[in-house]
Amino acid sequence: MSDRKITPLNIAQHELIGLEVEVIESSHPNLIGVKGKVIDETKNLLILELKNGRRVKVPKSICVFRFFISEKHRIVVKGEEIAKSPDERLKKCVKRW
């Protein structure tokens, strides 16, 4: 992970694996309220591990997520903004650098 602090403006350029996340909006009603730790990520999915140990695949493009950055800081992100593979998101950051 980068040494830079995660903010709403740069979260797409950071590693999401390891962050706690909650689905706060979705076109699929059963996904709303799903909360867990990001354990893997693909271009189109976040794979979450819930507190009960169950793993859930959540489509990025149909959800809005709340990422828990610290005890006090949360960032809300539209799934479309992160609907790229981690490598593609990092390349976009490097090109602007």
Q: What is the pTM of this model?
A: 0.85
Rounded Cα distance, 97 and 91, in Å: 10
Q: What is the pLDDT of residue 20?
A: 97
* Other residues' Cβ atoms within 10 Å of the Cβ of residue 79: 20
pLDDT band at 1 (very low <50, low <70, confident <90, very high): very low
pLDDT tens column, 47-77: 999 999 999 999 999 999 999 998 888 999 9
Query: Per CATH, which fold does 11-96 belong to?
Result: SH3 type barrels. (2.30.30)
Averaged over 37-44, what is the pLDDT? 96
Q: What is the pLDDT of residue 92?
A: 61
Q: What does the domain layout of the chain look like in residue ranges?
A: 11-96
